[in-house]
Amino acid sequence: MMYHSSSRQTDMIHKNKENVPVANYHCAPARVTRARAKALGASGVLPPLHPVTKQDHKHTLQPKTKRTSSDNNKSATDVARIVQSKRRAVLKEITNNPFNQSSLKVTDGIKIQISNEVKRFTSKKNDRVVVAPSVCVDPQGKTTKGSNDESIIDIDSKHNGPQMCSLYATEVYNNLRTAELKWRHSVDFMKTVQQEITQEMRSILIDWLVEVCEEYGLASETFYLTVALIDNYLSKKSIGKRRLQLLGITCMLIASKYEEISAPRVEEFCFITDSTYTKVEVLEMEQQILDVLSFQLSLPTTKKFLRRFLLVAQTSYKAPVIELEYLANYLAELTLTEYSFLKFLPSLIAASAVFLAKWTLDHDEHPWNGTLEHYTSYKESELQVTVLALQDLQLNNAAPLHAIRQKYKQHKYKSVATLTSRKPVKLLL
């Protein structure tokens, strides 16, 4: 009896299998595609209309193991928590996290471990954040210490924007201080290298390039880099009188490509010289300059330091003073036409321009303080020679080259070229 009953059940199963395809065919809610017809002939069962999800497919590939009831009953909240924990693990590897007390603070070239006893505090005066004075070492090896009578203002604490790079600003400018010594060119190349051109020819060329920058609306960074490229080339290779202007426009072309978003075309620089030079000559000169300079274009100019030092100087005021920025830039640009200022480092010129600009605008407050000394790494006594030379240049209204003076007499620059100090700066130094 058991044998017959089992055989009867087997016959019923075969009959049901034969009837399934027909039932599926007539009851299918959609048409049978080629893929479904092929699956129908192979297995006798129509595949589902919607494909199996990727997550279900992974489960079918896993080995068949026993699961506990807790594994089967995992909620969506648990899955979301697991995914979130993985994302946090990845973000932990990002290096631009804010510093805390256990982090390393970089101050003027030396890394000092911040102890738990040293804490930052906020000054109620002018709503400025100040930090305790600390020892700092500059690239020349000089060690300075903040004054005990006044605190050093942390100029990077309020700048959280990614473009300000407040976490790395100190290290960046320390590298610039090292680079200005490493890539410094000769300061007497007019005597040792050049044979045809003179200091006056160089000054006339730079004075004309000021007008070219104004004509094409180029940034001041482009102008500073142009002069730096000219001086670096002249310190390495001799050039004739006829090719001096070609050197100037080609260096400006290279600087424009480096600094500007949209640089002028080669034809425009040829046009500005009244077609004295052809496009082929400019391109050949460009190749020659890059070969002589070994493609070293990241030169630390006065403008790079001036931007940082002005940010420090503005902390002396409750609100930013735009005249201070224009006046310091004016004084710094005046030095570009003067061959005698090549003996001063760009950072020294920038610090001296800030010193003289503050003194010109305000005689009631001393222009130098502990914060400026801390971030510039220059003491007041180290600025004496440069500041006095810079004031003589400022007061020399009879100078034959006046492109920079005319530029800063414009109203958009607050006419800072007309400002002079009522008291001589030598009384302070």
Q: What domain count does the chain have?
A: 4
Query: Which two tokens mark 53?
Result: 């999800």
Spatial contact of 396 and 358, defined as CB atoms under 8 Å apart? no
Domain boundary among 292, 313, 340: 292
- Same-domain status, 212 and 253: yes
Query: Which two tokens mark 199?
Result: 């200091």
- Same-domain status, 319 and 415: yes
- Residues with Cβ within 8 Å of 341's Cβ and at least 6 positions away in sequence, in order, are 335, 349, 389
- Same-domain status, 265 and 308: no
For residue 41, the tally of other CB atoms under 10 A from its CB is 8
- Same-domain status, 308 and 284: no
- Same-domain status, 261 and 284: yes
- Same-domain status, 310 and 421: yes
Q: Is residue 99 part of a domain?
A: no
Instruction: pLDDT tens for the chain, 429 residues: list them.
Output: 444 444 444 454 444 444 444 444 444 445 556 666 666 655 555 555 554 444 444 444 444 444 444 444 445 455 445 444 333 333 233 233 333 333 333 334 333 333 333 333 233 334 443 333 333 434 443 334 444 345 888 887 777 777 777 778 888 899 999 999 988 888 999 999 999 999 999 999 999 999 999 999 999 999 999 999 999 999 999 999 999 999 999 999 999 999 999 999 999 999 999 989 999 999 999 999 999 999 999 999 999 999 999 999 999 888 899 999 999 999 999 999 999 999 999 999 999 999 999 999 998 889 999 999 999 999 999 999 999 999 999 999 888 899 999 999 999 999 999 998 878 887 676
Q: Is residue 55 part of a domain?
A: no
Q: What is the CATH number of the domain that holds 382?
A: 1.10.472.10
Domain containing 6: what range?
A: 1-47
Q: Is residue 20 part of a domain?
A: yes
Q: Is residue 179 part of a domain?
A: no
